Structures are given as structure tokens and as C-alpha cells.
Amino acid sequence: MWWTILPFVLVTVAVVVVPGFVVNFAAGLRPVHALGYAPLTSVGLISISAIVADMVGVGWSALPVLGLTAVVAVLAGALRVLIARRTKAPEPARALSRPSERPPWWKSSLGWTLGSLAIAATLLTIDGVRMLGAPTAFSQTYDNIYHLNAVRWIVDHRNGSSLTMNMLTGDGPAAFYPSAWHDLASLTLISMGSPEVTLGNNALILVVLALVWPISCLLLARAIFPHTPAVILGTGVLVASISAFPYLLLGFGVLFPNFLGLALLPAVMALAVSLLGLGRGERYDSYPMLVVGLLGMGGVALAHPNVALTMVSVVAPVMAIFWAAQGIRDLRAGSLRAWAAAARVAAVVALLGLAYVLFRALHAPYDSLWWPVSRSVSHAVGEAVLLAPRDTPVPYVAAVLSLAGIYAVLRHNRYWWLLGCHCAFVFLWIVVSAVTVPDFRNFFGAPWYNDNFRLASLLPITAIPLAALGLEFVLGKADDALGVRLADRRPAWVTGALVGVAVLALLVGTQVGNKQEMIAWVRGHYTVTPDAVLVDSDEYAVLQQVPEIVPPDGVIAVNPWNGSSMAYALTGRQTIFTHVQYPNDPDKQVLVDSLDDAVTNAEVCQALSDLGVGWVLDFGNDRLINNEDRAFPGFEELDDSPGFKLRAESGHAALYEITACALG
């Protein structure tokens, strides 16, 4: 029943909101803005505190997060007061206006924003529930072997540091892996004292999907545009209308780190828009923006580095170029001094140099880029225009509105940087999807592993604000037409009614039809079926019996390619492998090669003793994840080998207790 996940969702909301709000408010943001940017700051605080906790030898829990939050909040607040005194500037006002001057909430931009968020959260929560299918569902994909086991590993070892993710390396040197997602999910589980990894992970999916993503997009819309009902309410509907994000990454991969990073990216962009003055929306003081931006970029980098690189090497340079161009125009108009315009140009040149260095330094090695070209140039262009990359369902209404938004940019000569960023994303999508010149493709696609699924998910980031602008443009034309017809007799409610009808039409046009295909596709990846690619019905039935049979300290031999290593995440019992990319280990290799010869092979018994293994899951070697062909000869004939006592069985899946060494 879905009510079982509600406590996990509520705790996850607190995890995602509270630390960031405290620091944002201390840095000088008004309460509503501090709350809006809280997820961005919280992810940074939590992922950084996991690293710090490991460095100082403190176990991972809420305590390091609370400690770092308190320290950063005190420092941010003290520095804010010091800056205010040095500059003799008053501290930022905590209220927008006196209560008597405020309009009723339903007539204010805040009221529209809350209404828009309510619409988005409702739509996305419904979609999330339908995609997951059950509160304990889990993705039947290659990467989820790692993700769920990593959450369990962090809970068990009380170590969430992205710098020392030893689950992949065993006793070898510590490896870096961006663990912000796993830190958030594990923090919820540790705070609740719960071992239910699937509930913790799914709660985070729902919170990022239905809260973090729409808030992030609304922050960007409010930074770019004047706060009209059409733009704000339209954004709330549009965030749940384009399949390329957030739906695609929940089915493919499964790419939880990218999903989290991209959900935060619009909020980072909103900070940059406000800092550079590229929008016509709300502005903030520079100091709190820098505090939130630094922590937020740290969180984005520890969610997934390629999202941070997208901001630094793609979005920021485009924004900076238009910022410098605006400075030159202001210089010619006499509203900006020459030294200030020169400083802008110099800053842009420095940023472009940094962007290039980071772009080259942080990309994947060319020899590891195995994703092939998958479509023609014309096909890729058409998918980009229709906002339907990777053959995702065409969001016709959003696509038309985004084209209207592009026309509005050209017509009114505003928001060129937004169009520039969108064109940059489209360019990267086309290059990686369709260009057949290897060096050219590798240069631009290496930071994303030449994986066009990741680049497909970038398109909605800029398409949504363009579509919101397009909606405003179309409604403006309709309103003008009504104004001409009704002249001075037009009642004040006509414009409001027009917006209401448009939003209702937008809801109907975006939430029925094609998007449902994507929801069904994602759900298929979270459903245990007789032919599921990772854990099928027989295998899941056996896994459900494992906690009753295998003692808590029991260790199970598994073949990670057939899904049996999911026993660690789903039951808490140790497995010899937790992911397919396991490190070389002589004892484990002996079991891979010769486990079924345990009665006659002393080397196998020694390996079992060294590893503490007393159990084995046999899920067969016929259907492996990603259709791999991996030999595990030691697991081939367990049912006919002496020394293996059958303890649970369902169809082709079985759990054996290893008694061979006692017999020998």
C-alpha cells in the first residue's frame, strides 16, 4: 500500500529542505527565497558533510549534516553582517512589503507560484506513483545493481563519502563516485532506523520528481520573466509535459545521479541569471547568491560532474557572452563606463578559457566512448525541434509553444541568451546522435560519454522557459485581439479568464495522449515479471525467503550479471559481488570458476572459508543483464553437485546452503 512510503517521503522532504533553508536564511535570503533554493543548498551541504565526516572519522548520519549546517550558517550570517557594516549598507529586508501593502495572496506572484507548484507537484506525484507501480518497486536496469547496493553499503558502513566509495574497489584504493543521490537516500533510512532500501530510494525519486524539479524550474522562470500568471502557471504545467526529462532518466540506465543533477540545474541557472542581470524577473543581493551558488555547485558536482560541467562549460559561457555584449551596448548608449565594459569582456575571456580547460580535463577517455551514432542528422534535428529525442513521445503542445517562444525572442529582441543555451543543447544532441566524424563527435560528446540519452534530457531545461514565454506571447496576442473587439467595455476579469482557459487547455493538451506511453514504458522497467531482465518473478520469490533462511551474518555467493547480487540491497545479506564491475579477487575467482567442485577441490573450500561464504543463489546463466555473455562455470551445475542443500526454490531460481566442505 502506498501509505507505507509516506513517512519516508516526509523525512526525505525534511532532509532536502531543512539544512538548505537554515543556511540560505542566515546568508540573507528572504524566507520564501531561502525555502525555494533550499534543495540546491541542501544537496551541497549533505554531500559535502558526508566527505567531511569520513575525513574526521565520524559515522554517516544526520549528526554531521547538522554540524556542518550550523557551522556554515554561523559563518554565512557573520560574514553577511560584516559585509553590511563595511559597506554601510542595511541588511536585506526580510519582508517584501508591509502587510497592509501586500495584495491578497491569490493576486500576488507568490500566490501564482504556490498554485503553479501545487499543480506541478500533483501531476508529477501521480505520474511518479504510476511509473513506480508499487512503493517497493525497483528499476530492472543495469545501473540499479550499483545504486541500490550503494545505498545499502552506505547505511551498513556509515560512510557516504564520494571520495572513498570502496564498494566498487573492495580492499583496493578508494575510488571517487558522485554519491549525492546515495547520501540523500541513506540519510533518510539512517534517520528513520529503517533497512528498507527500496522505500528510501523511491521516496527520493518522488521528492526530486514532484518537488525539487518543479521548484527549480519555477525559480528559473521567476528569474527570467516578469511574474505574469501565464508564465508562472504555464511553467507548472510544462514541467510535467516533456518526456525527455524528468521521465526518460527514470527508465533508462537507471541514471539517478544525472536525474538529481539535472533537476537542480535550472536553480543554478536562475542564480546566474539574477547575478548577471540577464532577466526581467526577481533579483537578489550578490552575497547570498554567491553562498547558495558555491554550495549548490558543489552539490551538483557531487550529484554528477557532467551536470556541473554543463553549467560551467556550456551554459555559463553562453550567458557570459550575452552579458558582455549587453555591456558593450550599454557602453555605446552611455549607461556603462568603459572600464566596466572592459572588465566584463575580460571576465568572459577568462571564463571561456576556464570552460575549455575543464571541458578537456573532465571528459571521459576517448577509448571508453562506445555509444554509437544512432540516427541521421535530419532525424536528430526533427527530434530536437519536436522535443522528442530518443523516440520519446512528441509533446505537441509544448513543442509548438517552444517554437512560439523562439519566435518571441526573435520578434522582441529579448532573452537571446536563453535561445543561445537552447541552441547549444540542441547542437550537442545532434553531434552525439548523428555526426559520423569520430574526432569531432568525441570532442563534444566525451563529457557525456557520447551517450545521447543524457543529452536528450538537457533539452527540456531550456525548452520549458521558452514554451512559457511562447504561452505568454500567444495569450498576449489573443488578449490584444479581445481588447480591440471589446475596447473600453472589456471587463477586468476577461484577461484572467483568458489565462484560466489557457492553463486548463494546456493541462488537457499535455497530460493526455502521448505522455502516457512514456509512463507505461518507465513502469515496465520497475515491474517484476516472469521475463524481467534483472530480477524476474521466480528470482524475486526466492529473494523474499532469504531473510528467513540466511542468518544476518551470512554471506552469499552470487553471479552479479543475473541479478542475484540484488540480494544485498533487498535483504541486507552480504553477497560476494555488489556490482558487475567487481575488483579482481583470487578467492572470488575460484568460486566463479569452480564452486560446483567444492567437494573435490580443497581450493574452493579455502576460498569459501576466507570469504565466509555459506550460501549460494542460483539464478541461472541464460538471461544476463544487457544480454551479456559472461561465463560463471562454477555456478552451472549446482543442482547436480554434491554438497549443496536446496533451501528455497521457485521455478528456475534456487537458494542453496553450502555443505560441501563439511562433507569433504
Buried b or exposed e, range 625-648, using 16+ CB within 10 angstroms: beeeeeebebbeebeebebbeebb
**Cα separation of 106 and 116, whole Å?**
12
Specify whether the backbone of 279 is left (phi greater than 0), alpha (psi in -120 to 50) or beta.
Answer: beta
CA-nearest of 197, 196, 190, 194 to 64 is 190
CA distances from 170 to 167, 174, 263, 583, 609 (A): 6, 8, 32, 7, 18
Contact between residue 11 and residue 270 where contact means Cβ atoms under 8 Å apart: no
* Sequence-ordered alpha helix ranges (H) in 369-437: 377-385, 396-412, 416-434
Q: pLDDT band for 274, please (50, 70, 90 cuts).
A: very high
What is the distance between the terminal CA atoms of the chain, rounded to a whole angstrom?
A: 48
E strands in 13-105? none
CA-nearest of 634, 619, 633 to 566 is 619
Give the list of residues 6+ apart from residue 22 with CB closer than 8 angstroms, or none. Answer: 69, 70, 73
Contact between residue 373 and residue 441 where contact means Cβ atoms under 8 Å apart: yes
Q: So what's the pLDDT on residue 97? A: 40
**Cα separation of 291 and 38, whole Å?**
12
Q: Which residue type does 434 have?
A: A
pTM listed for this prediction: 0.94
Encode pLDDT of 604-654 as tens digits: 999 999 999 999 999 988 878 877 778 889 998 898 899 999 999 999 999
Q: So what's the pLDDT on residue 257? A: 97
Strand ranges of the sheet holding 574-575, from the earlier edge strand across to the other edge: 574-575, 555-557, 613-618, 653-658, 644-650
C-alpha cell at 604: 574452493
**Cα separation of 246 and 143, whole Å?**
17
**Cα separation of 124 and 132, whole Å?**
12
Q: What is the DSSP string of 109-151?
A: HHHHHHHHHHHHHHHHHHHHHHHH-STT----STTHHHHHHHH
Q: So what's the pLDDT on residue 386? A: 96
User: Cell 525559480 maps to which residue?
Assistant: 219
Q: Is the dihedral of CA 45, 48, 52, 54 positive or negative?
A: positive
CA angle 205/134/526 to nearest 5° reads 70
By CB atoms closer than 10 A (0-12, 13-18, 19+), residue 536 is buried
HSE-CB of 195 using CA atoms within 13 angstroms: 11
> Helices 493-511 and 229-238: crossing angle, nearest 10°?
10
Instruction: Kindly report the average pLDDT of the chain as a whole number.
Output: 91
By CB atoms closer than 10 A (0-12, 13-18, 19+), residue 563 is buried
Helix (H) or strand (E) holding 650: strand 644-650
pLDDT at 9 over 80: yes
Give the list of residues 6+ apart from residue 471 with CB closer than 8 angstroms, or none. Answer: 230, 231, 234, 401, 404, 405, 502, 506
Q: Which residues pair with 617 in a beta bridge?
A: 655
Q: So what's the pLDDT on residue 458? A: 97
**Cα separation of 655 and 616, whole Å?**
6
Give the list of residues 6+ apart from residue 662 with CB closer than 8 angstroms, or none. Answer: none
Is 555 strand, coil or helix? strand
Encode pLDDT of 395-405 as tens digits: 999 999 999 99
Q: pLDDT band for 283, please (50, 70, 90 cuts).
A: confident
pLDDT at 96 over 50: no
Cα 352 to chain centroid, rounded: 26
Domains along the chain? 7-91+113-303+363-521 (no CATH), 537-663 (3.40.50)
Of 16-25, 91-100, 253-262, 495-504, the poorest mean pLDDT is in 91-100
CA-nearest of 181, 242, 190 to 212 is 181
**Cα separation of 626 and 474, whole Å?**
46
HSE-CB of 313 using CA atoms within 13 angstroms: 23
The stretch 525-539 carries a mean pLDDT of 95
Contact between residue 499 and residue 482 where contact means Cβ atoms under 8 Å apart: no
Encode pLDDT of 385-433 as tens digits: 999 999 999 999 999 999 999 999 999 999 999 999 999 999 999 999 9
The stretch 176-201 carries a mean pLDDT of 96
**Cα separation of 300 and 265, whole Å?**
8
Q: So what's the pLDDT on residue 409? A: 97
